[in-house]
Amino acid sequence: MVIDAVPGARHHERVTRKTLLRGGWLVTMVPGSEPVRGDLLIDGDRIAAVGRVDDVAGAEVVDARHRIVLPGLIDSHRHLWQSSLRTIACDWTLGEYFARMRGRYGGLFRAEDIGAGTLLGAVEALDSGITTVVDWSHNLHSPEHADAAWEALRAAGGRAVFAYGATNAQALREDVGPHTRDVARLRNGVAADDGARVTLAMAVRGPEFTSIDNCASDWALARELGVPVTVHVGGGLRGTQGGVAELSRHGLLGADTTYVHCNMLSDVELDLIAAAGGRASVSPEVEANMGHGPPATARLRARGIPTGISADVCTNVGGDLFGAMRVAIALQRGSDHAAALARGETLAAVSMRAREVLELATVDGARAIGLGDRIGTLEVGKQADVLLLRTDLANLSPVGDPIAAVVHAAGPQNVESVYVAGRPVKRDGHLVDVDVPAVIARAQASHDHLVRAENSLA
Same domain, yes or no, for 192 and 334? Answer: yes
Same domain, yes or no, for 300 and 415? Answer: no
The domain that holds 104 is classified in CATH as 3.20.20.140
Number of domains, the chain: 2
Q: What is the pLDDT of residue 1?
A: 31
The answer to the question of residue 452 being in a domain is no
Among candidate residues 29, 22, 55, 59, the one with its CA nearest the CA of residue 43: 59
Q: Quick check: 225 pLDDT over 50?
A: yes
Confidence of residue 210 (pLDDT cuts 50, 70, 90): very high
**420 phi and psi angles, rounded to 5 deg:** -125, 120
* Tens-place pLDDT, residues 61-83: 999 999 999 999 999 999 999 99
Amino acid at site 64: A
The answer to the question of residue 444 being in a domain is no
Same domain, yes or no, for 384 and 408? Answer: yes
Q: 46 is in which domain, residue-wise?
A: 4-72+378-427
Same domain, yes or no, for 51 and 157? Answer: no
Q: Quick check: 2 pLDDT over 60?
A: no
Q: Are 356 and 370 in contact (CB under 8 A)?
A: no
Q: How far is CA 416 from CA 197, 230, 387, 408, in A?
A: 22, 32, 8, 18
The answer to the question of residue 404 being in a domain is yes
If you average pLDDT over residues 359-364, what whole number do you get?
A: 98
Same domain, yes or no, for 53 and 189? Answer: no
Same domain, yes or no, for 355 and 225? Answer: yes
Same domain, yes or no, for 355 and 288? Answer: yes
Q: How far is CA 432 from CA 101, 150, 325, 435, 443, in A?
A: 33, 20, 26, 8, 19
The answer to the question of residue 442 being in a domain is no
Same domain, yes or no, for 8 and 66? Answer: yes
Q: What is the pLDDT of residue 327?
A: 97
The answer to the question of residue 391 being in a domain is yes
Q: Quick check: 16 pLDDT over 90?
A: no
- 3-state secondary structure at position 391: coil
CA dihedral 297, 301, 303, 308 (to 10 degrees): 80
Q: Quick check: 185 pLDDT over 50?
A: yes
Q: Quick check: 11 pLDDT over 50?
A: no
The domain that holds 382 is classified in CATH as 2.30.40.10
* Tens-place pLDDT, residues 400-451: 999 999 999 999 999 999 999 999 999 999 999 999 999 999 999 999 999 9
pTM of the model: 0.95
Same domain, yes or no, for 207 and 344? Answer: yes
**% of the chain beyond a pLDDT of 70:** 96
* Tens-place pLDDT, residues 342-354: 999 999 999 999 9
* CA atoms of 386 and 377, how far apart (whole Å): 9
Mean pLDDT over all residues of the chain? 95
DSSP 404-439: HHHHHT--GGGEEEEEETTEEEEETTEESS--HHHH
The answer to the question of residue 309 being in a domain is yes
Q: Quick check: 6 pLDDT over 80?
A: no
* Tens-place pLDDT, residues 250-296: 999 999 999 999 999 999 999 999 999 999 999 999 999 999 999 99
The answer to the question of residue 248 being in a domain is yes
The answer to the question of residue 443 being in a domain is no
Same domain, yes or no, for 141 and 159? Answer: yes
Phi/psi-derived region of residue 173, left when phi > 0, alpha when psi is between -120 and 50, beta in every other case = left
Q: What is the pLDDT of residue 317?
A: 95
Domain final residue pick, 316, 332, 365: 365
Is residue 46 within a helix (H) or strand (E), and if so which, with residue range?
A: strand 46-51
Q: Quick check: 5 pLDDT over 80?
A: no
Q: Quick check: 187 pLDDT over 90?
A: yes
Residue 196: CB partners within 8 Å, gap ≥ 6?
Answer: none
Residue 228: CB partners within 8 Å, gap ≥ 6?
Answer: 161, 201, 202, 222, 256, 257, 258, 369, 370
* Tens-place pLDDT, residues 297-324: 999 999 999 999 999 999 999 999 999 9
Q: What is the pLDDT of residue 448?
A: 98
Q: What is the pLDDT of residue 8?
A: 34
* CA atoms of 369 and 375, how far apart (whole Å): 10
Q: What is the pLDDT of residue 458?
A: 66
Same domain, yes or no, for 79 and 22? Answer: no
Same domain, yes or no, for 79 and 188? Answer: yes
